Amino acid sequence: MTVSSQPKLNPIIEYLEEDFEPMPEGDKQRRNLSYTTESLKVWFESQENVYVSGNLFIYYEEGNPDKKVAPDTFVVFGSNKSDRTSYKLWLENNKVPDFVLEITSKGTVSKDRDDNPLLYRTLGVKEYFQYDPMGEYLKPASLKGLRLEDGKYVEIVSRTLPDGVFSLHSETLGLDLHLYPDRRFRFYDPKSSQTLRSLGESERERSLAEAKVKRLADRLKALGIDPDSI
């Protein structure tokens, strides 16, 4: 009797690109989600091998699509800027994010406060920050930072500036995280004394500067002066 055997087929493992869950709760969460990612993209735009993203699945165990997390904003130093549909550690030389920021809401507070620190510490994320735009879920301050030291997360010491701004320093980014009395959040560069702008804010400033240059050129031309000769 002849017995024929069929070759075994390897199951196809599907890594989802979306979780189809609702967006963050409220306008403040959405605005801050856009700002935190966009402003860092603009800031690191000129630096090679700095990947900034947010609300993107990070898969951290090959062959197990359930092992994933989607930080609101994260930064990876030493990784190219190519667009991705997801970030799979085994395809990225096992380079984990260096910086993670979660924007806490009612639906995510338990995960952000209890689960994520354990996961990010295990993965080796150097710094983990949480920001609560509503001021209802993180106490006593609406901004909290943890830094990995000797395999453990330690709380980053805060300071309050003379104008009442609550400030935490990110050694990884080289930036301060500022929380204003109205709970507005901004990144701040202490070296240049510059507040980071979002993509929209940067484009508006660029348009205003270009319009100013054009008005000056038009005035010079009206006086019979060639602007290009100056």
Q: Per-residue pLDDT tens for 4-31?
A: 455 555 567 776 676 545 445 566 667 7
Cis peptide before 140 (omega within 30 of 0): yes
Phi, psi at 154, each rounded to 5°: -120, 145
Q: Say whether pTM exceeds 0.85.
A: no
* Beta-strand relationship, 185-189 and 175-179: antiparallel
Strands (E) in the chain, as ranges, are 50-53, 58-59, 68-69, 73-77, 87-88, 99-103, 127-131, 143-149, 152-155, 159-160, 166-170, 175-179, 185-189, 194-195
Tens digit of pLDDT for each residue in 90-115?
A: 999 999 999 999 999 888 888 998 99
pLDDT number for residue 146: 98
DSSP SS3 for 217: helix
pLDDT over 90 percentage in the chain: 61
